[in-house]
Amino acid sequence: MALDGGRARLELATGLLAPRVVRVTGSRAEVALVATTATLLGGDEVRLDVEVGTGTWLDLRDVAGTVAYHGRGRACRVDVRLRVAPGATLTWAGEPLVVSGGADVTRTLDVDVAAGGRLLLHDTVALGRSGEAGGDLRCTTTACADGRAALVEELRLGSSARSQPGVLADARIVDTVTALGWRPTGAPALPGADVYVLEHGGTVARVLAGEAHESRLRALWDVWRGQLGAADGTTLVTDPGRPGRA
């Protein structure tokens, strides 16, 4: 995504995920991600590459959650690469990644936010559908802000290890909101939420829960998303059931 004569210009490519333009207004755009086929199946490899150019604002959202199905002995993976240029903003209201019983999933998240860029990301992982323990999941996150490592994290959530001390106990939901390249101010009192201020330009809020509805991080998203808009001089219109957006 880049500026072309003061208007956002998008270059889109389709694979297992298809980007659909919802609206373009000046230097801003909203894009929805739609699966083009049943995903994730054993052997699937999904790669998502997002670049937000200088002076632009991209609101990215998922139309539905992603379910990793029983792989019948075959693993699958999701690789996400996000690049936010100076003076650019990226928000991504992600829907859950659900790891069904028998699935074997590797997910990588590679983020680079340049000086003056801003990212707000809502990321939810659900281990198993209702009544399931869920399969195996490996999540690797590498996030840099202004050329410095801000967050490096690896979660190995194998089905045989999750109940071990210091891992997840009976939780099956890992819900996270990440602000990178800027620091939100204040947060509503949310039961079970832990908020971490990163040393290099960012803040992470996380909830571990037994069920998705037990997490209240959507309320935190709304607050932090509103701060992004206020700093940009934008008036937000709230869409019931979805994050506030312009």
35-50 confidence digits (pLDDT tens) = 888 889 999 999 999 9
State the pTM of this model: 0.89
Q: What is the pLDDT of residue 232?
A: 66
Q: What is the dihedral of CA 213, 108, 151, 206, to 10 degrees?
A: 10
Instruction: Tell me the residue range of the domain where 178 lies.
Output: 17-231
Number of domains comprising the chain: 1
12-68 confidence digits (pLDDT tens) = 999 889 999 999 999 999 999 998 888 899 999 999 999 999 999 999 999 889 999
**Residue 93, in any domain of the structure:** yes
Residue 16 φ then ψ, to 5°: -70, -20
Q: What is the pLDDT of residue 241?
A: 38
**Residue 191, in any domain of the structure:** yes
Instruction: Please state the length of the chain.
Output: 246
Q: What is the pLDDT of residue 244?
A: 31
Distances (CA, A) of 45 to 9, 76, 139, 140: 27, 6, 15, 16
- Which amino acid belongs to residue 62? D
**Residue 185, in any domain of the structure:** yes
CB crowding 122-141: b at 16 or more within 10 Å, else e: bbbbbbbeeebebbbbbbeb
**Residue 207, in any domain of the structure:** yes
